[in-house]
Chain A
Amino acid sequence: MITKLDIDNIAKAMRIEINSTDQYIDDIQTVIQYFTMLDNVDVNSIQIELPETNLKNLRNDEHIEYDNKLIYAFKSYKNFIRSPKLI
């Protein structure tokens, strides 16, 4: 079962500041509890089917010049995207 501490840690890992874990705990616990119904289903023999894309259908791996205007449309700083410092 998910605990208050789990929620705090996940929020931190997902980079979301939350004011109070209390407002989420009951709801999230109920939902996770609902998911435990999957414990009763036997799917051991089932293979996970993932969609396949033929390599032919992928676009060529080539450099495409970006549109300067596109960058400008986003948050720009002297034609660069400005990010907070990483380290």
Chain B
Amino acid sequence: MNSKITISQYVESVKNGDFTVEEFSLQILENINKFEKKLHSYISINDDIIKQAKMIDLKIKSQEKLGQCMGVPISIKDNICIHGIKTTCGSKLLKNFIAPYDATVISKLKKEDAIFVGKTNMDEFAMGSTTEFSAYGLSRNPWNVDYVPGGSSGGSAVSVSSSESLCSLGSDTGGSIRNPASFCSVVGLKPTYGLISRFGLISYANSMEQIGPMTKTVKDAAFLLNIIAGIDSKDNTTVYNNNENYLSNLDIDLKNKKIGIISEMMGKDADKKVLNATYEAISKFEELGAKCDFISFNTVNYALAAYYIITSAEAGSNLARFDNVIYGGFKLDANGYDFNTYISKIRKNFGKEVIRRMIIGGFIPSSGYVGRYFIKALKIKSKLIMELNKILNNFDVVLSPTVPVMPFKFGEKQDSLSMYLIDLNTVLSNLTGTPAISIPFKFDNGLPIGMQLMTKAMQEKLLLQFAYALEKITNINNIPSIN
């Protein structure tokens, strides 16, 4: 049996009786046994996969009504809560935390009969772009295990690419879905802010982050988006999406459609290989009849600074709850400690990157600096929204490389700033709340390069249509041979 299939192929095969859900789940477990030691996609694996698969097979046999996932094995980033399952957020601090409820996206997937394979590895509290900052060890890129898989949803991308799951849910605060999607050659979608409920997602920077699908194909991303999108009374920031069907009518004619390329996202610091790939993507779109034009968007130069200022300040506040009184899994009796000493002692267990961002997050809004950094960053955010909307009045989508550099080796980027600069092209959609998708485009020396498309808020359908067109014309082999 081929486990390297898409969701649509899986659903079709289960419907036709080509294989049972149990047989397919066993195949996924076999892949995990084969590759996990090398790749480390998961922090924890669900022990009940086969039991759950058998139950779905029974439902099929007795012709009971079945959800549209039909037992699709999906992996979940370890910052999304599944009731009764350990949810560590890649942190030592939550090593024993058992989620007491389901995130809304999980409830929706359960209703559609998805099977959760396990919780995927991630940078601690989603702060990082390589998955090197996980307290549970790094994940490796399936295309070359000496290279980083990207992050922070690195484990999710690796699990999909290596067929240790059929698809995954990640979260994206500044590129955490798109960056690993690009580095591991999978599709990663960061939806419009508010399209998907964040209830049950452990917050890092709540004004920016969104849950989104990571899949082998654009169609699969649309399939998952159909299930998880929509308004939720438990998250007041969610918005009504008219029950859009993202899967229908994906194949459109791009003739005379307009694509903008922001020159500042193709800057002099970008890798030549990545830039050449982007020029190739432009040619591909032109072959399809689209009109591509370069535009200047000067404010983009300030986006990264604004992003790190706002997210660090929000992180400082959001992580205040991890005090081991309610959240935290350390066995340290509160007796005999005063409040501050107890909490400081516990929080010593944060990783270095988290501490770094919390210190920056404490400094930014402090007296004397709030106007210089934080208020200014918020104003830049507003300016970016205004100016991007103007650009998107003239163009259907904006194209850029997802990440301006090629996947790199572990430990290659030592200082924080050079690590942060990886997010140069992805933070714009988080700051502006607009949707963006990374699509596998080509390989250079065996390493993947992804292209990013962005469009106006709530226009996921249009974004998926453009992504589908690019995917169809590139037609690259997305299955790594893992050695």
Segment touching A, from B7-15, B72-80, B370-378: B370-378
The answer to whether A64 has its CB under 8 Å from any CB of chain B is no
B379 touches A46 (CB 8 A): yes
The answer to whether B257 has its CB under 8 Å from any CB of chain A is no
A57 touches B347 (CB 8 A): no
Cβ 8 A contact of B380, one of A19, A27, A41 = A41
The answer to whether B1 has its CB under 8 Å from any CB of chain A is no
Q: With CB as the reference atom, state the residue of chain A lying closest to B341.
A: A84
Residues from 215 to 241 in B contacting A, C-beta threshold 8 Å: 233, 236-237
| In the complex, per-residue mask of B305-330: 1 if CB is within 8 Å of any chain A CB, else 0 | 11011000000100010011111100
Residues from 319 to 345 in B contacting A, C-beta threshold 8 Å: 320, 323-328, 334-335, 337-345
B316 touches A14 (CB 8 A): yes
B347 touches A17 (CB 8 A): yes
Cα separation A27 to B98 with both chains bound (whole Å)? 34
The answer to whether B472 has its CB under 8 Å from any CB of chain A is no
Cβ 8 A contact of A28, one of B326, B335, B356, B386 = B356
B308 touches A31 (CB 8 A): yes
Q: How many residues of A contact B (CB 8 A)?
A: 48
The answer to whether B145 has its CB under 8 Å from any CB of chain A is no
Q: Which of chain A's residues have a CB closer than 8 A to the CB of B335? A: 84
A74 touches B326 (CB 8 A): yes
The answer to whether residues A51 and B237 also contact, given A32-B360, A35-B305, A81-B325 and a CB cut-off of 8 A, is yes
Cα separation A6 to B360 with both chains bound (whole Å)? 11
Cα separation A40 to B153 with both chains bound (whole Å)? 34
B286 to chain A, nearest CB (A): 34
The answer to whether A59 has its CB under 8 Å from any CB of chain B is yes
Residues from 1 to 38 in A contacting B, C-beta threshold 8 Å: 2, 6-7, 10-19, 23-24, 26-28, 30-32, 34-35, 37-38
A38 touches B236 (CB 8 A): no
Q: How many residues of B contact A (CB 8 A)?
A: 64
Cα separation A87 to B6 with both chains bound (whole Å)? 58
Q: With CB as the reference atom, state the residue of chain A lying closest to B416.
A: A27
A16 touches B347 (CB 8 A): yes
| In the complex, per-residue mask of B347-377: 1 if CB is within 8 Å of any chain A CB, else 0 | 1101010011011111110100000110111
| In the complex, per-residue mask of B267-304: 1 if CB is within 8 Å of any chain A CB, else 0 | 00000000000000000000000000000000101100
Q: Which of chain B's residues have a CB closer than 8 A to the CB of A47? A: 379, 382
Q: With CB as the reference atom, state the residue of chain A lying closest to B319.
A: A14
The answer to whether B67 has its CB under 8 Å from any CB of chain A is no
The answer to whether residues A48 and B334 also contact, given A37-B302, A73-B98 and a CB cut-off of 8 A, is no
A-B contact count (CB 8 A): 149
The answer to whether residues A38 and B382 also contact, given A84-B338, A85-B338 and a CB cut-off of 8 A, is no
The answer to whether residues A38 and B359 also contact, given A16-B347, A31-B308, A31-B416 and a CB cut-off of 8 A, is no
Q: Which of chain A's residues have a CB closer than 8 A to the CB of B320? A: 14
Cβ 8 A contact of A85, one of B302, B305, B339 = B339
Q: Which of chain B's residues have a CB closer than 8 A to the CB of A81? A: 325-326
Q: With CB as the reference atom, state the residue of chain B lying closest to A33.
A: B417
Cβ 8 A contact of A38, one of B334, B347, B350, B376 = B376
Q: With CB as the reference atom, state the residue of chain B lying closest to A70.
A: B100
The answer to whether A75 has its CB under 8 Å from any CB of chain B is yes
The answer to whether B254 has its CB under 8 Å from any CB of chain A is no
Q: With CB as the reference atom, state the residue of chain A lying closest to B352.
A: A23
Q: With CB as the reference atom, state the residue of chain A lying closest to B380.
A: A43
Cβ 8 A contact of A7, one of B324, B328, B359, B376 = B359
The answer to whether B420 has its CB under 8 Å from any CB of chain A is yes
The answer to whether B469 has its CB under 8 Å from any CB of chain A is no
B135 to chain A, nearest CB (A): 15
Cα separation A43 to B416 with both chains bound (whole Å)? 27
A77 to chain B, nearest CB (A): 9
Cα separation A32 to B325 with both chains bound (whole Å)? 32
> Interface of A with B (CB < 8 Å)?
2, 6-7, 10-19, 23-24, 26-28, 30-32, 34-35, 37-39, 41, 43, 46-49, 51, 53, 57-59, 69-70, 73-75, 81-86
Q: When A and B form their complex, which 3 residue pairs have the shortest distance between CB atoms, in order from nearest?
A: A84-B342, A43-B379, A73-B100
23 contacts between A and B (CB under 8 A): A7-B359, A10-B362, A14-B320, A14-B347, A15-B323, A15-B344, A17-B348, A18-B348, A27-B415, A28-B359, A28-B363, A30-B416, A31-B417, A38-B380, A41-B302, A46-B386, A49-B381, A49-B385, A53-B237, A57-B236, A70-B100, A83-B325, A86-B339
